[in-house]
């Protein structure tokens, strides 16, 4: 039986550091690997993780100067992309790929507000 993990928010502590939250707390459940920034903030994905994820899903690439987006625009784009990957069910596969999991016994579901900017 699959474990359902509800994501209600996507946050960024820095332009290449993202985390999924449920009720304002960083999700600490399996399969997530929680990392700690020098300032003590918790997050899930950094530049290295985004580079690995982009091998599976090209739109989840780390920020670079080539895309001509400001850091703020990039963060907004990535939050929207993560949202769509969760809603489509593809984020489950991406996490299994990232963490090299044999069994995908979890599923992510969106449980938060749907921001108007995510709908486009």
Write out pLDDT tens, residues 60-110. Answer: 999 887 778 888 999 999 999 999 999 999 999 999 999 999 878 999 999
pLDDT recorded at residue 120: 62
Mean of per-residue pLDDT scores for the chain:
91
Q: How do beta strands 25-26 and 17-22 pair?
A: antiparallel
Binning pLDDT at 50, 70 and 90, where does residue 1 land?
A: confident
Q: Which structure tokens are listed for 73? A: 């625009």
* pLDDT for 114 beyond 90: no
Binning pLDDT at 50, 70 and 90, where does residue 115 land?
A: confident
pLDDT recorded at residue 32: 96
Q: At what angle do helices 47-54 and 90-98 cross, to 10 degrees?
A: 110
Q: Give the Cα separation of 67 and 93 in Å (integer).
A: 26
Q: Give the Cα separation of 83 and 77 in Å (integer).
A: 10
């Amino acid at each position: 039986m699959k474990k359902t993990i509800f994501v209600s928010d996507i946050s960024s502590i820095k332009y290449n550091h993202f985390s999924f939250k449920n009720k304002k707390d960083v999700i600490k459940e399996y399969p997530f690997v929680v990392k700690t920034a020098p300032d003590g903030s918790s997050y899930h994905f950094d530049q290295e993780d985004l580079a690995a994820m982009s091998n599976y899903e090209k739109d989840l690439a780390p920020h670079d100067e080539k895309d001509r987006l400001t850091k703020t625009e990039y963060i907004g784009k990535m939050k929207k992309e993560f949202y769509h990957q969760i809603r489509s069910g593809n984020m489950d596969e991406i996490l299994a790929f990232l963490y090299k999991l044999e069994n995908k016994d979890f599923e992510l579901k969106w449980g938060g507000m749907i921001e108007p900017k995510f709908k486009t």
